[in-house]
Structure 1
């Protein structure tokens, strides 16, 4: 009888969360609601970090069969290919040494250049136009390490190179960064850029932001530039906006 009374009393007691020491109902799942939700968010963040690390490791393992690894270990002592950067800001091209084994394993475009009898394969020189030395150096560093220090301009520059040379892992990395930096002021320019380089995630995020701020669209300087440069994209923006309005009206009915 005493055990029943004691059990009944315990069920009515409030307990203290081990994390924040706040009281919570004994019927809850061992912690207060706030800490439970925070733990769930932390778990999701950890899952995303683990997924990112897995894709990074997979990228660095590209072309890493035992034979490839042996060839690479022999070749990494000395560079055997030169990348040459040239842009409007440099009167003289700037060169950057690299290793064929690394370029071939990371990019199918470099693989085609260097494994087939093309000029780049014979000369050991790959000319890359319209790119700054800093961007090319960051690009090559990423091929070796899967790491890059980004600001917005560098992310745009690296995404262009990643798209051109089909380095998907780097393209995704830059897209995520640019999406995190999206705001109304850069949304139109980002939308146009994403169209040019088939950056689907960035395109969808920029378009969504534009549609949510349609009242301000025509007031934007970027809008005037877009009308002049590529009116087709302006039409697509209005079509997407009208489609959203129709869908919203249909749901409300």
Structure 2
């Protein structure tokens, strides 16, 4: 017997240098560090164009205006109050979003007027969106992550969409799995979709009794079919694996 160089516990000679527990822990730490490095590289790439300091925002050349059907250019409906605009620099928006790039580098209305109307978004969400374009940082809760993912998809800000999807994936549970599955399907968020679907399949008996499931049956039966197809596939694979184990024994 030999002593592990990490924890000093004894281990078998077949294990090279460390015991099994320390080896597995080191492997997990290595994978975590790799993920952090990849995230940092992605952030650096996203911010490759130096952003003007946030304290220079009064000297911006562009306004982003939250806009909804309750407020238009001429009328305010049902007591709605227009939201203030969010200031930004054209150069930053062009470098972060191909959609903004197309708007602002061509003779479109937004380029000529210096104002971009952002439909169906609150001032707080839009402000957080612009802040992320400058810093690649944002304070998320589940509602903000959902709203920002939609906005990031619309303007093709892939880095932000991935960031929100990762956050939302960490928050999937049996209470929100069905609605999250539908949301992920609608907004092409594959990792979030996989996580929500897996949880649904693990709890089919309980979740199919929930109001959200019955609502999904009414609104989008295609997704229900997809869930059941995945469930049947899992059942078949499970049965096949059990059969193979029986044969081997």
Give the TM-score taking structure 2 as reference length: 0.85
Q: 1:197 aligns with which of 187, 192, 195?
A: 187
Q: 1:24 aligns with which of 11, 14, 18?
A: 11
Q: Over residues 63-107 of structure 1, what are the superposed CA-to-partner deviations in whole Å (9 max), with x where a residue is unaligned? A: x4xxxx6xx76xx67200001113569521321100000000000
Q: 1:118 aligns with which of 71, 85, 108?
A: 108
Q: What RMSD in Å do the two structures reach over aligned CA positions? A: 2.1
Q: 1:234 aligns with which of 214, 224, 244?
A: 224
Structure 1 gap ranges (5+) = 1-12
Q: 1:217 offset after TM fit, Å?
A: 2.4
What is residue 60 of structure 2 aligned with on the other side?
Answer: 79
Distance in 1, matches of 2:218 and 2:141, equals 28
Count of aligned residue pairs for this structure pair? 230
2:85 matches 1:104? no
What is residue 34 of structure 1 aligned with on the other side?
Answer: 21
Which protein is bigger by CA-based radius of gyration? 1
Q: 1:242 offset after TM fit, Å?
A: 1.9
Distance in 1, matches of 2:188 and 2:13, equals 53
**C-alpha spacing 1:29/1:197, structure 2 compared with 1 (3 Å):** same
2:194 matches 1:207? no
- 1:56–1:146 contact (8 Å) kept in structure 2: yes
2:24 matches 1:43? no
**C-alpha spacing 1:49/1:126, structure 2 compared with 1 (3 Å):** same
Q: 2:174 aligns with which of 169, 177, 184?
A: 184
Q: 1:28 offset after TM fit, Å?
A: 3.4
Distance in 2, matches of 1:203 and 1:28, equals 39
Distance in 2, matches of 1:90 and 1:126, equals 20
2:236 matches 1:246? yes
Q: 1:236 offset after TM fit, Å?
A: 1.7
Distance in 2, matches of 1:28 and 1:201, equals 36
Q: Any runs of at least 4 consecutive aligned residues in structure 1 with deviations exceeding 4 A, and if so which?
A: 87-90
Which has the higher mean CA deviation after the structures are superposed, 95-104 or 144-153? 144-153
Give the TM-score taking structure 1 as reference length: 0.83
What is residue 247 of structure 2 aligned with on the other side?
Answer: none
